[in-house]
Chains A and B, each alone.
Chain A
Amino acid sequence: MSMYGNETHVIKGIKFGVLPPHEIIRMAKVTVIRDAIYEADGSPVAGGLRDPHFGAIEPGERCPVCGNTRDTCPGHFGKIDLARPVIVPHYGDALHGILQATCRNCGRILIPTDRIKYLTAIKERLKKRWPKLADTFVEEVKREAAARMECPHCGARQFKIRFIKPFTFYEEHPEGERRLNPIDVRERVEKTIDEDLVLLGVDPKYSRPEWMIITSLPVPPLSVRPSITLETGYRAEDDLTHALAEIVRQNERLKNFLISNAPETMIEDAWLTLQHVVASYIDNELPNTYQLTHRKKRALKTLAQRLKGKEGRLRGNLSGKRVNYSARTVISPDPMISINEVGVPVEIAKILTVPIMVTPYNIEEARKYVLNGPDKWPGATYVYKARNGKKIDLRYIRNHKQLAEGLEVGDIVERHLIDGDIVLFNRQPSLHRMSILGHIVRVMPYKTFRLNPLVCPPYNADFDGDEMNLHVPRLYEAMVEARELLLVEKHILTPRYGGPIIGGRQDYISGAYLLTVKTSLFTEEEVAQILAAAGYKGPLPEPAILKPRKLWTGKQLVSLFLPDDLDFKGKSKINAGNLKCDTEDCFHDSYIVVSGGKLLMGVLDKNAIGAEQPENLLHIIALEYGVTKARILLDTLFKGFIRALEMRGLTIALDDIEIPEEAKEEIRRMVEEYKEKVAQLIRDYEEGRLEVIPGRTPEESLELKIIGLLQELREKAGQVAVAHMDPFNDVFIMARTGARGGEVNITQMAAMLGQQTVRGKRIRRGFRKRTLPHFKENDLSPEARGFVKGNFRDGLRPTEVFFHAAGGREGLVDTAVKTSQSGYMQRRLINALQDLVVSYDGTVKDAWGNIVQFKYGEDGVDPTLSYHGDGVKIDRIIQRVAKKNGGRR
């Protein structure tokens, strides 16, 4: 079949070794001796870095080596013959180990003969079962050999070898250090014998140590270092070519010195320079070497730089490939689609395609797609004919009708994405498995991906310009896998903490509260509105109030969606402060009781329906009635919450954070009172009467006490403000239910911002001995050190704005630093843990079958199937059984 026949081979392993010199010479088709690249007439210099023997690259050119044109010539290596040998920098450590462990005279390992045999036998045994231990064993052997200062074979005295990365060796004689140049090093390691090398962890067949010092440097073909022609007609060479040209230059210089019998110091100097440029050609970021640079001081990208780092070959091109059948655009919210769905713009649906095999059952459908063609959705872009294996591009076909009619069973139609297809949806950073979920396609107008806002928490998405990626699985296996494992509803519960990660936020919570709060009663028309939005089609329950009009409570409406036998008890978020209740005997409606699927008491707020709230109503439903039931609730009832909210309206205005003049007066009074207290502290401090906190200096004690006082002040001011506000104004509702904001935000808007801090301390930096020129030097008073008595409603003074900005900056810097640090940690952790698997017997094993944990998590519990980590919740089981037995326990 293929040009190579039908043999199949299984790769058993990959062996790395050092490229031997004869191999380098055999590969080389040209020896580079000139650093010029082009002749004056523009043709490549013979024996230069663009010698035709590197392979054909120009159109029409014939390769002098293999005779092919540029389409088929693979490119050929050349070499540079170095005038003196140099050490390959990355082998420095290996050479150091061998030099230290072997005799400087006879080259044998510094271990007695019979012990060599003994140790080799141990090493071979270890290698079979504990390869990692064999490596540490080799290190032990090396240490033992290096410690012996007299050769057991020839009796020669040994000296310590000092190694300076990456290629400098010194031998420490009693009378002083002596440098070992590459020739010395090579002469020594040449003398080592194969058996000794094996004990030193080297496979001499593939890696003789003298190969680590080179006299012939391989020069890669032009396909590895292509030159580009600029619009101006100038040719720009690749960085590798520049680096190689520098090597040729330095090599020729050294050659001339040698020929002309130049003084030894000059030769040594030129040799060292050659060593440096060869090292930099391999890795331009080595310590203790000069960087090769362009004229404008930009460091050259040499071999190691191509491979290393995020944009390098490994991370950038091999682990991180770019893919087809993917799309990216801005996301925007659509609360009316299912949480399992994603809205895809038509424009994108016409580019992303799925191959469908034509069968007798879908041939008519397939014909429709072909007839529509590539521009009309839902159409098709390509047809693969089974008859001749030809691929037909529908963009260039005039007669779609003919092609559609000619469609046969077995053909493959590459059709547009349509409603009901499954796709993978992703938002970076992909920090946990819920960062990629399976969504069902809904093709829509306009240009954004549409996402149900309930699915924001797992992606950590919002709609302030976030973009997301979409991928189309094209094989049936992949599609089924996505549907069965990745679908959004299968990830309502997170393994991170065993609770629901999907759930209400913001308006959903306000809406649920306003729907279920005692004071909300709905007319028949309103009930119809809410239930229609929620997609309820059943009969209405008896109204709670019959006269003068029929009125329903929100709790009645919620109950329509709950499972018939659901029992649930728990505190609402509003269960705090004045509304605190610890039992079901709660007159504040802040203790939730669901019995027999009826919401009897309590308002639904963040604690009942919020995202990332373990053991809430949603969690219990997902656990006990299945995630599909939970999803149906999210797709129905939650739309009712939104509709209820829309009908009432939720908005905030300046009025909502306005407090009466007498409250303001009270706060002003408190500010004066506390300012005096602080002044008293400062006086005490200045007069040395301040009580010092143990373990603190007087200065620190003063600061701590001032911060404590001012914090107290802000809290008190907040309490005053809250006490004077209408508890049913919209700001307050959002704060109490947990929809958005809290007491701090209300305090800051209505009462005062309070003390601004940088690194937990009052603000002190800026000018000499003062924060701003508005204050005197050494002023320790609150207003000079970042205390803001103003609030957002009434506005801040200029100095207050400055302090607030200084405090706010810290938060921004912190998040920037934290994300980069935790991102790196995440990367390391994932690399370390990626191939661990929980086996069927509950053990955790790595890819080699080594046991990592004898029982997953030491308790074998899957957090997503547990009650927030507990395998069984005995209370709920007892309750259920008791209920089944008619209340008897």
Chain B
Amino acid sequence: MPSKSRRITKKILKHELVPEHRILTLEEAAEVLRRYNVKPWNLPQISINDPVIKLLGGKPGDIVEIRRRSPTGGEAVAYRIVVPF
């Protein structure tokens, strides 16, 4: 059950260790699933209790695009599906 945590502020989004998260629109999400030819449950998951997801207002079933710096690939894109806990 959700813990009585301290309030999370938008500040964390600017932290250099927090990569860029973006909740995809329904169309974009469908396109991602089509591109990788997978079902939603084959994607990596991210908890709805994740601080960034809470801030962005993600709901279970949403697909989040995460862009992070990569030592090999320059920038790496990953997609995660929001799960209820």
Contacts and interface: CB of A to CB of B under 8 A. Distances in A.
B42 A849 contact: yes
A843 B76 contact: no
Nearest to A132: B45
A203 B83 CA distance: 25
Contacts of B1: 140, 143-144
Given A130-B83, A841-B36, A859 B42 contact: no
Contacts of A869: 72
Interface stretch (A159-167, A298-306, A850-858): A850-858
Contacts of A129: 40-41
B8 interface: no
A858 B41 CA distance: 21
Given A133-B84, A841-B36, A843-B36, A851 B72 contact: no
Query: Chain B interface secondary structure, helix, strand, loop or mixed?
Result: mixed
Contact of A854 (B41, B45, B77, B84): B77
Interface in A834-860: 841, 843, 845, 848-852, 854-855, 857-860
Contacts of B42: 845, 848-851
A722 B67 CA distance: 55
Given A129-B41, A858-B70, A858-B73, A140 B85 contact: yes
Given A843-B36, A857-B72, A858-B73, A130 B41 contact: yes
Contacts of B37: 841
Contacts of A130: 41, 45, 83
A860 B44 CA distance: 19
Interface string A845-887: 1001111101101111100000001000000000000000000
A859 B72 contact: yes
A319 interface: no
How many residues of B sit at the interface, in one of the four size bands? 20 to 34
A143 B76 CA distance: 38
Most buried by B among A144, A848, A849: A849
B36 A851 contact: yes
B43 interface: yes
A855 B73 contact: yes
Nearest to A128: B41
Interface in B36-56: 36-45
B18 interface: no
A140 B49 CA distance: 15
Contact of B72 (A136, A848, A852, A861): A861
Interface in A238-269: none
A860 B84 CA distance: 32
Given A136-B85, A140-B1, A851-B43, A858 B76 contact: yes
A175 B70 CA distance: 60
B73 A851 contact: no
Nearest to B43: A851
Contacts of B83: 130, 133
B76 A855 contact: yes
A869 to B, nearest CB: 8
A591 interface: no
Nearest to B83: A133
Contacts of A854: 36, 76-79
Contacts of B85: 133, 136-137, 140
Interface string B54-85: 00000000000000001011101111000111
A133 B61 CA distance: 13
A762 to B, nearest CB: 40
A140 B1 CA distance: 8
B73 A857 contact: yes
A859 B38 contact: no
Contacts of B44: 850-852
Contact of A859 (B39, B43, B70, B84): B70
Contacts of A143: 1
A850 B85 CA distance: 19
A343 B41 CA distance: 52
Nearest to A133: B83
Interface string A524-541: 000000000000000000
Contacts of B43: 850-851
A34 B12 CA distance: 72
B5 to A, nearest CB: 17
A863 B1 CA distance: 45
Contacts of A861: 72
Interface in A805-859: 841, 843, 845, 848-852, 854-855, 857-859
Give the 6 A-B residue pairs with the shortest CB-CB distance, closest first: A858-B73, A859-B73, A858-B76, A858-B70, A859-B72, A129-B41
6 contacts: A129-B40, A143-B1, A854-B79, A857-B73, A858-B72, A859-B74
Given A849-B42, A854-B77, A854-B79, 16 more contacts: A129-B40, A130-B45, A133-B85, A143-B1, A841-B36, A845-B42, A849-B38, A850-B41, A850-B42, A851-B42, A854-B76, A858-B72, A859-B70, A859-B72, A860-B73, A869-B72
Interface of A: 129-130, 133, 136-137, 140, 143-144, 841, 843, 845, 848-852, 854-855, 857-861, 869
